Copies of this chain bind each other. A is one copy, B any other.
Amino acid sequence: MSDALVVFTPSGKRGRFALGTPVLTAARQLGVDLDSVCGGRGICSKCQITPGYGEFSKHGVSVASNALSDWNAVEQRYRDKRGLTEGRRLGCQARIQGDVVIDVPPESQLHRQVVRKAASARPIAMDPATRLYYVEVTQPDMHEPSGDLERLAEALRSQWQIDSIQAGLAILRKLQPALRQGNWAVTVALYADHRGGAARILDIWPGFHAGPLLGLAIDLGSTTIAAHLTDLSDGSVVASGGVMNPQIRFGEDLMSRVSYAMMNPGGDVEMTAAVRLAINALVQSVAAEAGADPAAIMEVVLVCNPVMHHLFLGIDPVELGQAPFALATSGALTLAARDLELTALNPEARLYTLPCIAGHVGADAAAVALSEAPEKSEDLVLIVDVGTNAEILLGNKTRVLACSSPTGPAFEGAQISSGQRAAPGAIERIEIDPATKEPRFKVIGSYLWSNEPGFAEATAKTGVTGICGSGIIEAVAEMRMAGIVDAAGLIGNPEQTGTARCFAEGRTHAYLIHDATDQGGPRITVTQGDIRAIQLAKAALYAGAKLLMDELGVDTVDRVVLAGAFGAHISAKHAMVLGMIPDCPLDKVTSAGNAAGTGARIALCNVAARKGIEAQVARIHKVETAIEPRFQEHFVAASAIPHATDRFPELSRVVTLPQVSHNTSGGGDGGRRRGRSRG
């Protein structure tokens, strides 16, 4: 027998190889996904495999115990130094001696899949732009003079089949010392993305360098900036962090920032500098949390709304503040991070921004589309990313539509009398007893309801300080279900509601949730103004969704996905009571968590996903709410609470109030009065 049958699992790929062929070589020839950084030199240990011995009737193979060459000194040294799981071999050392079945464990697969936590989510196949390659370079020869870079390129060509490379000045500076220090062996980090062209050397180390290579997924919001530090070899998140967007001092919402840029020459430059500074600080703190060298961060994927996109890139956002809301560029960009003054990373790090969908529908919405993939959905899915601005996607395999709706900051607890950001002490859950009209609530930082024993002690440190976004939604919905608020959104007086918690405030009434004045805290109430603000916000959100449904010619959707950090905390029931989202069975409403951040991570881990979302964004049908007369119609029609009573048995408990005179037309105008506040 001069050759033997080799079967790889889990791929099932098989072939015959000459006896003595290393397992890694066989895997490469068959196109089996088996990792290697050192190219088979027994250094990196990425090519670990598990041989199977015995009968494999499924594969028609009987594997003798000597089917692979003997355990060798390289393997022993590796096991002694770093440990090697029992039964594992190094694919570059073990040679084929007879028919054999070889299992490639997940951690040895180059394109291994990262299973995401959310149930609905697809796994991410690892295929990052940046990878490590170990190479041995020919020494210079005076008889055949050539540059060190040219000989490195030749080595990458012959040892790794990499056609062409390019190197920036910083790498040219490091090249010669690295080659000599490594005795003509180096490890390079090569960046090759979906655009093709020469692979770019991002870093170089003498000898073998094990990594890690890190990437940063950044979700740059108008209020907060979140970053996920990700290991580019396996997609794992090694640290996460967030900071407030310091641009808030120039304006709470995006339109105020655009105005600031318009009114103050150089204002855009100020805001650009502020956000870049904050990201640099965030990079450092996230790296410190992971105990990682910030120079190991090779790539950034950034998602954000169009105004943040322009302000971060240093483009005056003035055109986004007025019709026709033209972006300087809507395409995806690949840039040098240092050109954006992101100096805390590797000096050669690349930054990728996802494409913007339209003037109001940004790269963050594109990231949600990448994460949730409505274009692959069999049933009709409505995806809502709730923030200061709501990004709305509707579609299925046939067609996907997108729009943005100016919900305003009410859903984030802003412009609410007792509103506050989601922070310890903020009320996040509320229930109101329909009989007694008495509330009970939970605050962030405690698991106890306010009427449970120990609540006062548990919240002594933070106190009860206000209501956050998800809390105000529950409060309004519960007030409606308890008969404190009518369908038009008016809070009843004490006589109508039968509770002294409803008290007169000017010409309208408010509802007292909690009085903490005796502990020096605030009186937490829901005022008529708060109800109106929530009505405006939810009507805008609903109207946006409805507009897309009109465009698609449907009356219902099959399922709803709530995205965004806020979306993760909204109670689906209360959202539907409130009429935030169109009717849909409650069990078909799911939360995707921070889908924009997930989309950024996917783009970080898989270059094909970048290509895919760029193509998909071009195919998405964009609907501009600002110029659609039907949006205003839907908006006005959607201000009532609720319009989904029949779906909720609880709502039969809703008490019908005696009619009083009030004005319900504020909603329609309000949307215009507030202008287009985006986030």
A interface with B by C-beta (< 8 Å): 139-150, 167-169, 172-173, 175-177, 197, 313-316, 318-319, 323-331, 335, 339-340, 356-359, 622, 624, 626-627
A/B interface sample: 9 pairs, CB < 8 A: A140-B324, A144-B622, A147-B326, A147-B331, A147-B356, A148-B329, A149-B330, A169-B339, A175-B329
What residues of chain B lie closer than 8 Å to A140, measured between beta carbons? 324-326, 359
Kindly name the residue among A139, A146, A175, A313 whose own CB sees the greatest number of chain B CB atoms within 10 A: A146
Kindly name the residue among A145, A149, A169 whose own CB sees the greatest number of chain B CB atoms within 10 A: A145
Beyond A143-B624, A176-B328, 11 additional contacts (C-beta under 8 Å) are A140-B324, A145-B330, A147-B326, A167-B329, A169-B313, A169-B335, A172-B313, A172-B314, A172-B315, A173-B314, A175-B329
Give CA–CA (A319, B140) in the complex, Å: 11
Top-8 shortest CB links A-B: A147-B330, A149-B329, A145-B358, A140-B326, A147-B329, A147-B327, A140-B324, A142-B624
Q: Which of B142, B324, B339, B622 contacts A325 (CB 8 A)?
A: B142
Give CA–CA (A67, B592) in the complex, Å: 72
What residues of chain B lie closer than 8 Å to A173, measured between beta carbons? 314-316, 328
Q: Which of B141, B328, B359 contacts A324 (CB 8 A)?
A: B141
Specify the main secondary structure of chain A where it touches its partner: loop
Residue of B nearest to A175 (CB): B328
Residue of B nearest to A151 (CB): B326
A55 to chain B, nearest CB (A): 56
Kindly name the residue among A177, A316, A331, A357 whose own CB sees the greatest number of chain B CB atoms within 10 A: A331
What residues of chain B lie closer than 8 Å to A624, measured between beta carbons? 142-143, 145
A183 to chain B, nearest CB (A): 14
Residue of B nearest to A310 (CB): B172
What residues of chain B lie closer than 8 Å to A326, measured between beta carbons? 140, 145, 147-148, 176
Number of copies: 2
What residues of chain B lie closer than 8 Å to A318, measured between beta carbons? 176
Given known A-B contacts A142-B624, A142-B626, A142-B627, A149 and B328 have beta carbons under 8 A apart: yes
A636 to chain B, nearest CB (A): 22
What residues of chain B lie closer than 8 Å to A172, measured between beta carbons? 313-315, 328-329
What residues of chain B lie closer than 8 Å to A197, measured between beta carbons? 197
Residue of B nearest to A143 (CB): B624
What residues of chain B lie closer than 8 Å to A175, measured between beta carbons? 328-329
What residues of chain B lie closer than 8 Å to A143, measured between beta carbons? 624, 627
What residues of chain B lie closer than 8 Å to A167, measured between beta carbons? 329
B622 touches A324 (CB 8 A): no
A146 touches B315 (CB 8 A): no
What residues of chain B lie closer than 8 Å to A176, measured between beta carbons? 315-316, 318-319, 326, 328
Q: Which of B141, B150, B329, B330 contacts A330 (CB 8 A)?
A: B150
Given known A-B contacts A197-B197, A313-B172, A315-B172, A145 and B331 have beta carbons under 8 A apart: no
Residue of B nearest to A326 (CB): B140
Give CA–CA (A358, B150) in the complex, Å: 12
Kindly name the residue among A142, A175, A339 whose own CB sees the greatest number of chain B CB atoms within 10 A: A142
What residues of chain B lie closer than 8 Å to A627, measured between beta carbons? 142-143
Give CA–CA (A149, B310) in the complex, Å: 13
A65 to chain B, nearest CB (A): 51
Give CA–CA (A328, B323) in the complex, Å: 53
Residue of B nearest to A168 (CB): B339
Given known A-B contacts A145-B358, A324-B140, A627-B142, A329 and B150 have beta carbons under 8 A apart: yes
